[in-house]
Amino acid sequence: MRIMVLAETQKALTELCAGASQISPQVEAVIIGDQLKVVADTIWYIPAQEYAMLEDYTESIAALIKQEKPELIIVEPTKRYKLIAGRIAAMLGTTVITDVLELEKDFVAKRMVYGGTAIRTEKVVSGSTIVMVGSGVLQSKSVTEVTVREERPVQFIEPKIRLKRIAREEKERVAVDLPGAKVVVGIGRGIAEQKDLEMIKQLALALKGEIGCTRPIAEAEKWMPKETYLGVSGLIIAPEVYIAIGISGQIQHTVGINRSKLIVSINKEKSAPIFKQSDYGIVGDLYKVLPALIKHFG
């Protein structure tokens, strides 16, 4: 069985290729230019074109898929690739299953629907299966060094339509790796002021963890970057330990963290739904509990 991998970042390319190799020994990666280090046994190499955006390679990738007919195409769920994958699907007369949480035998995929209220199990029934799979979904025992068996060039096809890029600005980098963190400290509306984040940082440091948050903390309060909110339309994580601080436990948030191995919560409301989903917890004032935790673990 042939699997083709499309990724925009090195981290995802490495992870998706390693994960794909657990499904089938024949992993093929599509590489554009020389940006990414190859980790598959076959690579399809599209030479970089001057002034081209990633989107300008859509026709070339679609033609490759049409010609090679891989059974499964695994795509990194970035915004650019959501557009590209959708356009490719339309060219091929099929569709894309996005934001897959689990990929089972025969490419049966599970994904979240109705704002986290339900999980839908579905499969593609029209030709190649295109799935977009986030970090941590495909299990791989280890990322082994793969030697490239063959490198095959792909002809660049000039797109009918090119967008004109006038300007481009790097966003301020958010230096967190939430999907990869073993311990994640999550904060919610129970935090009274932005300056209290200092205390959270100390706790995260003491526990060697990263900090995530609920959507209101990122979008309404803007105390944390948008890239760090957990739950529906944000990140879905599965750390060893998740510590929910001042989080009531709305479903929109908990769908992002309920795959954690262990959940610990700190909340002053005894009736907060988060306690029902926790292994350990304390009903108390976080401003008393956290300093004691920092002192003990720091």
Partner 1 sequence: MKIITCIKVVPEEQDIVIKADGELSFDRAKPTISAYDLNAVEAGAQLLEECGGDFIALSVGSGGIDNPKLKKNILSRGPESLVMVADDRLKDLDTHQTAKVLKAAIEKVGEYDLILCGEGSSDLYAQQVGPQLGQLLNVPTINSVSKITQSDGKIVVQRTLENEVETLESVLPALVIVTSDINLPRIATMSHVLAAGKKPATVWTLEDIGVLELFNTIEVIDTRAPQQVERKQDIVEGDTDEAIQEFITKLSTVLAK
Q: Which residues ranging from 37 to 76 are in contact with partner 1 (CB under 8 A)?
A: none
Does residue 72 contact residue 107 with C-beta atoms inside 8 Å?
A: yes
Closest by CA position to 200, among listed 236, 247, 254, 259: 247
Say whether residue 175 binds partner 1 (CB under 8 A): no
Residue count of the chain, please give it. 298
Q: Quick one: which of 22, 35, 117, 194 contacts partner 1 (CB under 8 A)?
A: 117
Q: Which residues ranging from 200 to 219 are in contact with partner 1 (CB under 8 A)?
A: 207, 219
Which residues, including other chains, have CB under 8 Å from residue 87's CB and lie 6 or more apart?
58, 62
Q: Toward partner 1, which CB reaches closer, 65 or 85?
A: 85
Q: Give the binding-site size for partner 1 (rule: CB under 8 A).
A: 77
Q: Which residues ranging from 82 to 111 are in contact with partner 1 (CB under 8 A)?
A: 82-87, 89-91, 93-99, 108
List the x/- string, 122-161, binding to partner 1 by CB under 8 A.
Answer: xxxxx---------------------------------xx
Q: Which residues ranging from 2 to 31 are in contact with partner 1 (CB under 8 A)?
A: none
Residue 217 CB neighbour total at 10 angstroms: 23
Least CB distance to partner 1 at residue 206 (A):
10
Among the candidate windows 41-49, 136-144, 190-198, 255-263, which touches partner 1 by CB under 8 A? Answer: 255-263
Q: Quick one: which of 48, 118, 148, 220 contacts partner 1 (CB under 8 A)?
A: 118
**Quick one: how far is CA 13 from the chain centroid?**
12
Least CB distance to partner 1 at residue 60 (A):
15
Does residue 100 contact residue 108 with C-beta atoms inside 8 Å?
A: no
Q: Toward partner 1, which CB reaches closer, 45 or 127?
A: 127
End-to-end, the C-alpha distance of the chain in Å comes to 50
Burial class (CB in 10 A: 0-12, 13-18, 19+), 92: middle
Main-chain phi, psi angles of 3, to 5 degrees: -125, 130
